[in-house]
Amino acid sequence: MREEKRNKLLIFYASQTGNALDAAERIGRESERRGCPVVVRPVDDYDARCLPEEDTVIFVVSTTGQGDTPDSMKVFWRFLLQKSLSKQWLEGVRYAVFGLGDSGYQKFNFVAKKLDNRLLDLGATAVVERGLGDDQHPSGYEGALDPWMRSLWRRLHQIDPSFFPQGPDHVIEEMKLIDQPKVHITYHSIDNAASRLSNASDLEGIRMQLETARSMSAGKLSNYNNKAVCFLKMIKNQPLTKSGSGKDVHHFEFEFVSAAIEYEVGDVLEVLPSQDPAAVDTFIQRCNLDPDALITVQHKEMKNYLPDIHKNTTEVPIKLRTFVELTMDVTSASPRRYFFEVMSYFATAEHEKERLQYFASPEGRDDLYKYNQKERRTVLEVLEDFPSVQMPFDWLVQLVPPLKTRAFSISSSPLAHPNQVHLTVSVVSWTTPYKRKRTGLCSAWLAGLDPQQGIYIPAWFQKGSLPRPPPSVPLILIGPGTGCAPFRGFVEERAIQSSSGPAAPIIFFFGCRNEDDFLYRELWLSHSLNDGVFPEAKGGGFYVAFSRKQPQKVYVQHKMLEQSQRIWNLLLSKASIYVAGSATKMPSDVWSTFEEIVSKEGEASRDSAANWLKALQRAGRYHVEAWS
C-alpha cells in the first residue's frame, strides 16, 4: 500500500520557448482554484527513477524543430527509453499528457505522442486522452487546453473525489489567491558594492550585471546557468540584398572580445538583444517605478518535497532599470492570458475591469487572441490600453514574458576565420491584421548597429542540429534563403580541407526569389569552378532556383529532380544530406522530393524509398535545421 503523498498533483513541463511553462502554470492554478494542491516543476528538476512512487502526474511538453524533444527533457526521455524498464514499471501510476505544437510542421506534437505511448508501454494508466495544442488554432494552444482541462478535472473527480472536495466545477474566489505572487522584491539602500555593480561600464562590470540580473530570473532563464556568456564586438554589418528586393538580409561579422570560444560549423549562436531604451523608460514611468532603485529578486520557495532551484541566492543588488532591460521583454513579446486576469484585479476603471475579465474568461478567449497574440501587442502597449491598472512590480516581474535570446545558425568556419564568428540574418518584418508594422526585436537591432560604436553583444554558443561532417563524406546541401547560412561555413571549411588533402564533393541547392536576393552569389559561383568544392566533374555542383525570375515558380525541389542521377550517385557514395531553412513546408517538400528520387533511381516503390530515407536518418546521414 502506498504511503500518503504530500501533494495530489505533480505537474512537469518541458519547454523550449516558455509556452509549456505557461500552460503548466495555468493547469496548476486551475487545480488550486478547485482545492487541489499542486507542484509545478521542469522535468529536468526530477529524478526519473522516482516516477513509480508517484500517484498522479501531468506532463506538459512542447515539440521543437522537426519533432525534436526540448533540451530540458532529453535526459528524462533517455531514461524512459531504457530497455531494462519492465512493462509493469509504472503500474499504478496515473498520468495525463498535454502537448504543444504546430500543425504546420510535419511531426505535429511528436514529443507528446511519443511520451504518451511510452508511459502506456511502461504500465501507467492514462487519466484522459492526450491533449494536443496547436499554434494554428484561432486561440493558439489554449483552444485545446481549455476543453482538455475540463475533461481532466471531471475524470480525476470520478477516480477520487478527494482531488476536488467540493466538485470539479467549484472554483475558489480568485482574490484569495491573487495576493500571493511567487516573486519577492527587496529594495536596498546604496552601498559601495551595489554602487559599483549598478554603475559598471567595463566588460567585467557588464558581465556581472548580466549574470546577476538573469540569475534572479533563474526560474525562466535557467539554461544560462551552465553556460558562460561570451561577449562579441561587431566588425562588419553588410547588407546582402538589394533595396526593393522585398527582403532585407545582412551579413554580420563579430570578433571575440574576451578569449575565443571554440565552436564548429553547424553550431548555433544565441544573441541577447537590446531593447529600445526609450521604450524601457516609458514602461518604468507607466508603472510608477524608480529606475535607480536597487533591488534583489527572489522566487518564493514552494512548500513541497522538491528542492527549490529557482530561489535566488545572489545578494548583490542591481538597478531596477537594468533588471527590466536585461530580463523583462516589455517591447516585443505579447503577455499571456494570466497577465490580463491579474490586471483585472488591479483595474480601477469599471469598463477596463469588465473588458479584462472578459478577455480572461473562456468566452473571451478568441477575442483576446485576436487583440493580443495576432497583433503581437507588447506588454507596454497593453498597459497603455488600460491606464487605470497599476500592477505591483512583483506581479510584473512574475508575469512579463522573459527577454529571450534569439538563435542563429553560424555562417562561418573557425578554420577560415580564427577569433571570429559570422551570422546571416534576415530582418524580420510583417504587418498585423490591423495593419500595424512590426519588426523582429533582435534582427532589427543588429541591422541598426554601427560597427564603429563598439557595442558589446552578449551571446552563447550551442550545438545545432547539423553536426560537423568529416572531409571524406560527400555532402548534399539544401538551403533556400537564409538556410544557406550554415552551409557558407561548411563550404569554407571544405575548401581549407581540400587544400591540404583529398576532400569529398559537395552538391548544393540554393533558392531565392531573383538576382536581388541571391545571397553570397560570388562565393558560390567561385566554388563552382574547377578548383572549388562544387565542380560537376567531381560529382558535385551548385544549382540555384529562382522562384520569381521567370513566369513559373522554380523551387529547390525542382532543381533536385533535374539532378536526380547526380544525387543518387552521391547517396550511393555514402553522402550525408543537410537541409536548412524555413520550417513550414520546405523540409517536408524536400523529403518528398528525395523519396521521388530514391524511388526513381533505385527502381523501388515509394514506401520502400521512404523507409530507405528513414534508415538514412537513423544512421545520422539526414539532418534538418529549420526555423519559423
Q: Answer for the pair 628, 582: CB distance below 8 angstroms, yes or no.
A: yes
Residue 460 half-sphere exposure, CB side, CA atoms within 13 Å? Answer: 21
Helices marked H in 479-605 — which ranges? Answer: 485-500, 521-526, 556-562, 564-572, 586-601
Q: Answer for the pair 45, 310: CB distance below 8 angstroms, yes or no.
A: no
Compute the radius of gyration of the chain from its Cα atoms: 26
Give the integer Cα–Cα distance in Å for 38 and 19: 19
- The neighbouring-strand residues paired with 626 are 581
CA end-to-end distance (rounded Å), the chain: 49
Which grid cell sits at 350? 469599471
Give the integer Cα–Cα distance in Å for 124 and 121: 7
DSSP secondary structure code for residue 264 in this structure: -
Helices marked H in 199-238 — which ranges? Answer: 203-215, 218-221
Helices marked H in 90-247 — which ranges? Answer: 110-121, 142-159, 175-178, 192-198, 203-215, 218-221
- At residue 41, the 3 state secondary structure works out as strand
The three-point CA angle 437-441-443 to 5° equals 100
Give the integer Cα–Cα distance in Å for 39 and 51: 14
Q: Torsion angle of alpha carbons 237, 243, 249, 254, nearest 10°?
A: 0
Per the annotation, binding residues for FMN are: 15-20, 62-65, 135
Per the annotation, binding residues for NADP(+) are: 482, 547-548, 553-557, 589
Per the annotation, binding residues for FAD are: 376, 406-409, 440-443, 627
The three-point CA angle 395-399-404 to 5° equals 135
Give the integer Cα–Cα distance in Å for 382 and 445: 22
Alpha-carbon torsion 66, 481, 141, 393, what sign? positive
Per the annotation, binding residues are: 15-20, 62-65, 135, 376, 406-409, 440-443, 482, 547-548, 553-557, 589, 627
Which grid cell sits at 22? 505557461
List of residues 6+ apart from 244 with CB closer than 8 A = 516
Q: Answer for the pair 137, 168: CB distance below 8 angstroms, yes or no.
A: no
Give the integer Cα–Cα distance in Å for 37 and 7: 6
Length of the chain: 628
Q: What is the b/e burial string over 266-278, where b = at least 16 CB atoms within 10 angstroms of the residue's CB?
A: bbbbbbbbbbbee
Nearest to 372 by CA among 403, 399, 409, 334: 334
β-pair type (268-271, 125-126)? unpaired
